[in-house]
Each structure stands twice: as structure tokens, then as C-alpha cells.
Amino acid sequence: MRNDHWQSFYSSPASDRVPLEESSFARWVTDRLDGHPPMVDVGTGTARDARFFAMKTHEVVGIDYSAAAVESATRRSELDGWGARFQVVDLSDARSVAGFAAGLDWSRGWNLYARFLVHAITDEARGNLWTLLAQVVEAGGEGWLEFRTDKDAAAEKVFGEHYRQYLPVDQVAEELAARGLRVVEQIESQGLAPHRDEDPWVARLRVGRAG
């Protein structure tokens, strides 16, 4: 993962440009959830969606590579009483991901949520994300993914250029299928995640068990 970018971003005033309110994807997910399952927010960033889920009475654990992001989210959760927990996890390190997974109570039916993460990580990190997602689904949970697709590659970005992979939705679905996972619901469109003058092409996937 291109980690220096995100550590610098969440340590700087630039992170203040991220909206404070929850994303439309988080609302889309809650409209489809069965009850209030605990949520793992992978790539939690500013924790805007972790806060939203926590305030909706979900147990939430947010993970991120950036220690600055985790420290900020932990501080705000404690001050405002969300009850969410945050932890540094490096998706590019299989041992880091396995260590995190070992600390979860899998009888709880965790769901995995990852917004604007899949396109921002390397192939290796994405493989480790799929491993974690497969564990979530095997234990009875679901996965929720929103990411920029290959249709968005040429567009200008509000937050400038940094490491991104613009993956076709079919490729992601094939990678998930190879892990025994199935796309239960899929949308690919503009109009789902507009921000300022940017209206990116994104996909939303709901992921469950194949078969």
C-alpha cells in the first residue's frame, strides 16, 4: 500500500475537507441490513461512517493503516461517546490482518464495510481484504464495498492524484468468486458519491456466500 500518502493526509488539515456527515453509501447499507450487526469499517479514515453506524447502535471496530487516522477517530469517539473502537491494521501485511481477525468474536455475525478502499490498495492488500471478507461471510455476515471503477480512470479528482487502481466490476466479482463469495447486489453508476465538482463512477457491491 502507498502508506505515506494516507499517514500524511490524516495528519494534515487536508483531512478537514472530508465531509463530516455520513456517506450516502453508509445509508444505503443500513437500508439493507437485517437488524444491527456489528461492523468492521475497513479503511475507516476520518471515521465519518463508523460514527454513523455506532450512533445507529451497531458495535463498530474501525481499522486503518494510518496511525494518525486511528488516533483521531479514537479521540473523537471517546469525547463524543460513540463507543466505537479503532485499531491500526496494515492490509498489505497478512500477519497484521490475521492478528486482527483472531481478536474478533466470530459468533457475533460481523459485517465488513469498505468505502473507497478497494481502488486505493495494492493487489496484495486486496487479496488480504478478500481473506478477511471470506472469514466474515463464513461466520454468517455480509460484505459491503464501494469503490471507483475503471470507468472513472480519466476523470479529474478533488483530492488530486495518488495511488489508485481502477478495477472493472467483473474483475472484482471474479476475485470474490474465487474465494467462494458471491455478489448479491450490484450497482455501477455516477450519481452515487458526488463531492464538490466530482461525480465519480463507482460500484456498490453486497457480498455473501456463493451457492
* 20, 77 Cβ separation under 8 angstroms: no
How confident is the prediction along the chain (211 residues), in pLDDT tens digits per residue? 445 654 554 444 444 444 478 999 999 999 999 999 999 999 999 999 999 999 999 999 999 999 999 999 999 999 999 999 999 999 999 999 999 999 999 999 999 999 999 999 999 999 999 999 999 999 999 999 999 999 977 655 454 455 679 999 999 999 999 999 999 999 999 889 787 677 899 999 999 998 7
Strand order in the sheet with 181-189: 85-88, 60-64, 39-42, 111-115, 143-148, 202-209, 181-189
- What pLDDT sits at residue 69? 92
Nearest to 3 by CA among 75, 69, 48: 69
Listed in sequence order, the DSSP H helices in the chain are 3-10, 24-30, 48-55, 67-80, 94-102, 123-138, 169-177
Q: What is the pLDDT of residue 190?
A: 85
Q: What is the pLDDT of residue 210?
A: 86
Domain ranges of the chain: 3-209
CATH top-level class for 3-209? Answer: alpha beta
**What local confidence, expressed as pLDDT, does residue 81 receive?**
92
> Model's pTM, two decimal places?
0.88
Distance, in Å, from the CA atom of 20 to the CA atom of 40, rounded to the nearest integer, reads 19
